[in-house]
Amino acid sequence: MWDSIREACDAVQAAAAGEDEAAIRRMLEAEFRARDVSLPPEIFDSLVKRIAAGTRAPGEPLVSVQYGGLLRVPFIRKTIRHIFDSAVAAAGGVDNLIERHVPWVSKDIGDSWWIMSRTLPHPPGLGLYVTAPDEVPPPARLIPDPDLRERMPDLFEPVRPLPPRWSDMGSLDDADQLFVWLEDGDGTVAVFNQPGHIGSLNAEDAQAYLQLVRAARAQDKVVAAMADVGRQAADLSSATVRVVPDRSDRGGA
């Protein structure tokens, strides 16, 4: 879909010289029909205006999102939701769309939680619980399993870039946080990621987190969190865990 949309825009851009905005709209609509693609009206209107104004460079991404404040803008957020849901439906589900590997995320994941939560791993039958910003406890020390390096060497490899199909969704160059989830481990807070158990929280820090994991379990969820295992690879005694704060659209837009 992304390539077809870009090709349609490039074709219209190449023929747009001297045309007014109305003519460019008709041309772009025809190109979209020929390729059987569509976009939300707001994005389509934006493309028409950019082509008419000459501010769109041929071949540039349709939507470029750096994880940060941009996803707090209602128009951007709603548009990307629409596109993401359409892509998931066309692929027959998230599992057919996302390449599974060690899930590294940016520290700004909370800004884009609605989108990212659809792709992040979690235990079968349980959802992901994301914490309100005013309920986030301080970072907690991670006590890694003694054999973690041997069992999960991928955690200590360089972060892989986004798959090519997701290059339009921005950059994860700053993705140095390992996505994890937290569960109640008989009075301790157990830390898991996609391959399995990676450790537990320091007992002194665990009390505030226990309240969260138990609240999450009451809703059949586990607490979404991040660990700086990769960044602290040289000295895992300094590794920490912090929960994911939901800074995205809490109003349900």
Sorted by where each begins, the domain ranges of the chain are 2-53, 101-243
pTM here? 0.58
| Per-residue pLDDT tens digits for 152-205 | 887 877 555 444 444 443 344 456 788 999 999 888 899 998 878 999 999 888
Cα within 13 Å of Cα(227), Cβ side: 33
Kindly state the tokens that stand for 35. Answer: 């390729």
Q: What is the pLDDT of residues 61-113, one digit of tens each?
A: 554 444 344 444 455 555 555 655 565 565 555 444 444 456 778 777 877 77
d(CA 3, CA 196): 36
Q: Binning pLDDT at 50, 70 and 90, where does residue 141 land? A: very high
Sign of the dihedral defined by the CA atoms of residues 211, 214, 218, 224, in that order: positive
According to the model, what pLDDT value does residue 149 have?
A: 86
Whether pLDDT at 38 is above 50:
yes
